[in-house]
A and B are shown apart, each in its own frame.
Chain A
């Protein structure tokens, strides 16, 4: 099955700075990579995803990059704001399921 590793486990950034979270995966056949944001006490929310036929995808202040050769993908948040503080999870498909990373707790300091 798929094995997803996520780094760092915690990330503290100054408001306005950028945040980068990296994930690696093990199954070279994986072709879909979503990112989820989970706010305290709520269910994870899909914020962006990328498929293996593209190398980068942007949506306003967030972007995801994919390097299939190296089997890693990253989430980039620019111009961070206090509302970006949350736990972020990456994932990769495995049969009928998603294998999730362990999560990154992002804290944006005002």
Chain B
């Protein structure tokens, strides 16, 4: 079956530090990959996505590259801000790349950024 494994948290950083949150996956077929973010007291919202191998998703200074050879989709940001404090979820949609499908989520990584 499909699975997503994220690096364990919580992660605590100082403002302007470099961020990496590791994500690896197991899936059949050709999954699409996502990072969702959950700010305190809110639902999840899509941060970025990649639908095929070697694609790079990017948004709000965050980036992740779909690496099929290492089955990874690590999230990075060069300089974090206090406002980036949230829970980050890696997810995959194993839908053969043809249509929308169910998502399988990682367990989430809590990020706290201090001034």
Tell whether A and B belong to one assembly: no
Q: Which residues in A have some Cβ–Cβ distance to B below 8 Å?
A: none
Q: Which residues in B have some Cβ–Cβ distance to A below 8 Å?
A: none
